[in-house]
Chain A
Amino acid sequence: MDIFLQQIINGLTLGSVYAIVALGYTMVYGIVQLINFAHGEVVMIGAMVALWVISSLAGGAMPPVVIVLAGILCAIPVCMAVGYTMERVAYRPLRSAPRLAPLITAIGISIILQHVAMLVWSRNPLPFPQILANPIFEIAGATISAVQIAIIVLSLLMMGGLTLLVYRTKLGVAMRATSENPQVAGLMGIDINRVISMTFIIGAGLGAMAGVMVGTYYGQAHYTMGALLGLKAFCAAVLGGIGNLAGAMLGGMLLGVVEALGTGYIGEITDLCHVSGISTALAERCAEDGHMVVFGSNYQDVFAFIVLILVLVFRPSGLLGERVSDRA
C-alpha cells in the first residue's frame, strides 16, 4: 500500500508540472487554434535562466529563499519576452495562412530555441543549485519532500489564479470572446492582437514557473529538457480536451499518475512467469530466473503517447472538451 501511495505522490508531482505546461498549450490553442510546439522550449529557457541567476547569487549574503525568488522573478519576464517575440515574429504574420504553416513554423521555432540554448548554456547537463533545505515528510510509509509539496501547492494556486483571470477579469472576458469568434470580438472593440499577445505571455509565464519547478525537482537542467516535457504536456492537453482550461489541469494530473503507476507496475503485469503454465520452455526459464519481463520500466516515456492514441481513437474531443477537433 505504501508503494501505491508513493507512486500516487510521484505521479501528482509530475502531473502538476504537466498541468501547468499543458495550460500553455491549451490557452494558445483555445484562442488561435495553433499548437505551439515551441512551448516546451520556453519551459527549458525558464529553467536555464533561473539556474543561471540562482548559481550566480548562491553563496552570497542573501537567504536561499530570496535567491530562488530572484531566479523565478528573472525567469518569468525572460520567458514572457520569448513568448511575446515568438508570437509577434513567427505566428502573427501567418495568422491568415493555412493552418499547417504556423504549425510547421512552431516546430522550427522549437528547434531554433533549443540550439540557441545549446550555444548559450552548453551541451552538458547543468546541475541546478540545491540551495533550499528540502526536508522529507513521511505519510503512511510514503515520503514526500518539501519541494514536492511546493510544486503541487504552487501549481494549484496558479491554476486557481488563471481560472480567476479568465472568468473574473476584463482581459478574461476579452480572451473568451476572441476564442469564440475573433472577427466579431474585433467588431465589439476588443484589440485582438493585444489579447493574443497576452495569451502567449501568460502561457510563457506559467512555462517559466514549470521550468523552475522541474529544475529544482530533478536537480538539473539540459537544453533538450523541454522537448519531451512539452510533448507530454501536449498529450495531457489533448487528454483533457485541448482548448479547455479545466481539461488541461485534469489531463496533466491524470497523465502524471498514469505514468507513475504504469512505470511502477508494468514490469509485474507483463511478467510472463505469471502464466508460465502455457509452455514448458517458459516454465523452465521461469524456474531458473523467476522473472521474464516483456516491458520494463524503461517504457516510462511511452505511456503519455499510448494515452494520446487512445484518446484520439475513442474520444477525440478529450475528457472535458466540447469542441470537436476538426482542424490541425
Chain B
Amino acid sequence: MSRFPLPALRLDLVVGAAAVALALTGCGKQEEPPKPAADAPAAAAPAADTVTVKIGHAAPLTGAIAHLGKDNENGAKLAIDEANAKGITIGGKKITFELISEDDEAKPDKGPIIAQKFVDAKVAGVVGHLNSGVTIPASSVYNQAGIPMISGSATNPQLTEQGFPVTFRTVGRDDQQGPAVASYLVAEGKPKVVAVVDDATSYGEGLANEVEKTLKSAGVKVLPREKGTDKQNDWKAVLTKLRGKSPDAVFFGGMDAAAGPLLKQARELGMKAIFAFGDGACSDQMKTLAGDASEGLVCSQAGIPVKAASKSFLDAYKAKFNSDPIIYAPFTYDGANLLIAAMQKADSVDPAKYLPELKKISFDGASGKIEFDDKGDRKDAEMTIFTMKAGVLEPIAIIKGGKSIKFEEFIKGATAEQK
C-alpha cells in the first residue's frame, strides 16, 4: 500500500493473513504454560552501576488496527525482556532496557508529536511506527535528533528515500513487490505473453511498471498497457480486447474492489490466463468479490508470513503473551534486537556512536538474516506469494533476492537454522 498517506496496512488483508497464520499454527503445536510476565525484569538485579536505557515504541494502540499495534508492541517488548533477562553489559555498566510505548492512533499528525515526546524523554532508539503514513512525518523528527528508528511494518518506498541516515526498516518495500511477483510468474507460469493492467493510481501504476520491467528483462512479451480506474467495475471491454491477444498471464495493479470484478468478468469471457495481483488485491475479500473465479489467483505481500518466523521466537511469543503473533511482530522483535546488538557492538548506548554499527550490522533475526543497504532498507527482503485455494489465501512461495523458494522448504530451512 504505497498510496501515502494511507496507513501502510489494510485491515482485511491483515485479518486474512492472520487467519491463515492462525490456521497454520493451530495444528500440531504443543501448548506451553504461560510464564508470568514479570520474571524478566526481576532477573536483572538492580546494582549500583546499573544504567537504564530507554527504547521507544510507537504504533496505533487504539482504533481499527489496534490489535496490530499491540502485536508490534509485543514483538518489541519480547526482545527487550529477553535482553534484560540475559543481563547485558555495555561500556562496563550493567544495562536495564526500558520500553516506552506510545499510541500514535495511526494518525499522520500524531507521528511527529510522539516522536518529539521520545526525543524529550532521551530514548536511545525507536522501534516503529506501524503505518507508512505516520512513520514518514515522524522520521524527520528522529533525523533531527539523531535517534535511530527501525520500522517493522512501513513499506512505502518514500520512507527511506528521504536520505535520512537514521531511518531503517526490517520489512520489504512496495517497489520490491512488483519484481517479486513478476519473477514468480516467470518461474512458475512460464508465460510467453503477459498483459499488464492498472487502475491509473500512483500505487497501481507504480506496481504495474515494476512488474512490466521485470517481465521484459526476463524476455517475456508484454502487451501494451491497459488502464482502468480504481472505481471501475465494468472491465469487459478491456478484457475482450485482451482476450483477442490470448495472454498466458494477466497482472493487475490495483485494489481488491476493482480486481474482484475484473477477475470475475475475465472468467465469464472464458479467459484461462493466470491472474496475478499486488498486495492491494491480496485479501480474502477477493473470494467474496470474485466468487469461484478467485480460485487459483496469485498475489504478493511484503514480508514473510508470521508462521515462517523462527521457531524460538514463535515459542517465546506464545509463552509470554499466550497468543500467536499476528503479522509484523517478528519484524519489530528484530528491530529492537538490532538496536541492542548495535549498542553491544559499539559498546555504547550513544546513538551517534552505535549508529555506524547498525548500518553495517549482519544479524540473524526471527525473520531471517538482516543487513541494511545504504538507504536503510533491508537487503534481499523477502516477499511472500500467495494463492487462493478453496477460498483461502495460502502462502506458496517466498521470494528472496530474485529467487523463488517453495514455502514449505523455506519453513524447513528456517527451522533447521535455529537448531
- Which chain A residues have a beta carbon within 8 Å of chain B's beta carbons? 2-3, 6-7, 10-11, 13-14, 124-125, 127, 130, 134, 136, 138, 143, 145, 218-220, 222, 224-225, 259-265, 267, 271, 290-291, 293, 296-298, 300-301
Contacts and interface: CB of A to CB of B under 8 A. Distances in A.
B288 interface: yes
B257 interface: yes
Best-surrounded residue of A6, A259, A267, A297 (most CB of chain B within 10 A): A297
Contacts of B200: 298
Contacts of A138: 270
Contacts of A124: 257
A50 B328 CA distance: 39
Nearest to B231: A224
B266 to A, nearest CB: 11
17 contacts: A3-B241, A6-B240, A14-B234, A125-B260, A143-B268, A143-B270, A218-B261, A220-B260, A220-B261, A220-B289, A261-B237, A264-B237, A264-B238, A293-B224, A297-B227, A297-B241, A300-B232
What are the 6 closest A-B residue pairs judged by CB atoms, nearest first?
A263-B237, A298-B227, A127-B288, A291-B224, A3-B244, A10-B236
B243 interface: yes
Interface string B283-313: 0010011110000000000000000000000
Contacts of B288: 127
Interface of B: 200, 224-229, 231-234, 236-238, 240-241, 243-244, 257, 260-261, 264, 268-270, 285, 288-291
Contact of A219 (B226, B231, B291): B291
Given A220-B233, A260-B236, A264-B241, A145 B268 contact: yes
Contacts of B225: 293, 296
Q: Which of B234, B288, B291 has the largest number of chain A CB atoms within 10 A?
A: B234
B261 A267 contact: no
Given A259-B237, A297-B226, 8 more contacts: A6-B243, A6-B269, A13-B236, A136-B268, A143-B268, A145-B268, A220-B233, A222-B257
Nearest to A260: B237
A62 to B, nearest CB: 20
Nearest to A3: B244
Contacts of B244: 2-3
Contacts of B232: 300
Given A6-B240, A138-B270, A296 B290 contact: no
Contact of A296 (B227, B231, B234): B227
Contacts of A10: 236-237, 240
Nearest to A8: B240
Contact of B238 (A11, A224, A263): A263
Nearest to A144: B268
A265 to B, nearest CB: 8
B226 A296 contact: yes
A63 to B, nearest CB: 19
Nearest to A147: B268
A298 B289 contact: no
A220 B234 CA distance: 11
Given A6-B243, A127-B260, A219-B291, A297 B224 contact: no
Nearest to A265: B241
A5 to B, nearest CB: 9
A204 to B, nearest CB: 23
B236 A267 contact: no
Nearest to B256: A125
A260 B228 CA distance: 13
B257 A125 contact: yes
B269 A301 contact: no
A219 B289 CA distance: 6
Contacts of B237: 7, 10-11, 259-264, 297, 300
B224 A219 contact: no
A49 to B, nearest CB: 19
A248 B221 CA distance: 44
A171 to B, nearest CB: 35
B229 A301 contact: yes
Contacts of B260: 125, 127, 219-220
A298 B228 contact: yes
The CB with the most chain A CB atoms within 10 A, among B234, B240, B244, B260, is that of B240
Contacts of A297: 226-228, 237-238, 241
Given A3-B243, A297-B238, A219 B264 contact: yes
A32 B295 CA distance: 51
Given A298-B227, A300-B228, A300-B234, A125 B268 contact: no
Between A2, A127, A136, the greatest number of chain B beta carbons within 10 A of the residue's beta carbon is seen for A127
A267 B226 CA distance: 8
Contacts of B233: 218, 220, 225
B241 A298 contact: no
A124 B264 CA distance: 18
Contacts of A300: 228, 232, 234, 237-238
A134 B268 contact: yes
B351 to A, nearest CB: 42
A14 B264 CA distance: 16
Contact of A3 (B224, B228, B240, B289): B240
A226 to B, nearest CB: 13
Contacts of A259: 237
Contacts of B226: 267, 296-297
Nearest to B216: A289
A14 B240 CA distance: 14
Given A130-B291, A143-B270, A298 B229 contact: yes
A262 B233 CA distance: 17
Given A127-B289, A218-B233, A267 B270 contact: no
A77 B234 CA distance: 28
